[in-house]
Amino acid sequence: MSAEDEDLEFLAMRQVYASLKDLDVNAQNRVLDYVTRRLSLTRRTDDPEPIQPSPRTRTEPDDVSPESQEGKSGEADDVEGISPIALKWMRRSQLSGKQLSILFSLGIEEIDLVAKAVPGKSKAERVKSIALLLGIAGYLSSGAARFTDEKLREACGHYNAYDGTNFSKHLRAISAEVAGTKENGYALSSRGLTEATELIKAMLTGG
């Protein structure tokens, strides 16, 4: 290898390091996996002098099996189109794209609620479930747990939760979890986001 080639290689290493150093370890691996696939490269795991991670990061084991690599690739495909903020929420909540795809239309520009049914014995209870789930649909799409009054009414009609006479009353009853107005739309509070997360986990486990 010539001196010029060595300089180019060193420059490339510096640029890659500068681009990755401020990302968390999961994001670093996603970037490296993407570049590896695009350039048809092979990631080495048998380097005799592996780089030690800094105290704020950790690395994946060197002896990763082909099956686990396929699982990671599948997971990456499942979360396509999900906002970065929602991805962090998913990791904290230990929810995968595959799980959420049962309840939401992942993989499209505007993620929507597609669950076959929502919890709630009464219309008031179903309104709350729908509002929480629509908030998560907005969160997955844009990183903001927001939805419009029109979308809420449409979903309530679909899931047999709409009661024209008592609809406003049902919304007032969940004001601690869902705030907003008909004109400006609604958004989940921090409490609402927590309850929505618990609701989703219960729905996925049949609870």
Place of tokens 């049914």: 117
Write the CA distances from 119 to 21, 35, 187, 203, integer angstroms: 44, 43, 20, 8
Q: What is the reported pLDDT for 4?
A: 53
Higher-pLDDT residue of 173, 10: 173
Residues 6+ apart with CB under 8 A from 112: 104, 105, 137
Domains of the chain, CATH where assigned: 3-64 (no CATH), 84-204 (1.10.10)
Instruction: Say if residue 2 is exposed, middle or buried (CB neighbours under 10 Å; 0-12, 13-18, 19+).
Output: exposed
CA gap 159, 138 in Å, rounded: 18
CA dihedral for 91, 94, 98, 102, sign (positive or negative): negative
116, 160 Cβ separation under 8 angstroms: no
Range with lowest mean pLDDT among 76-85, 123-132, 185-194? 76-85
Q: What is the reported pLDDT for 72?
A: 46
Q: What is the reported pLDDT for 184?
A: 96
pLDDT in tens, 134-153: 999 999 999 999 999 999 99
- The predicted model gives 45-52 an average pLDDT of 47
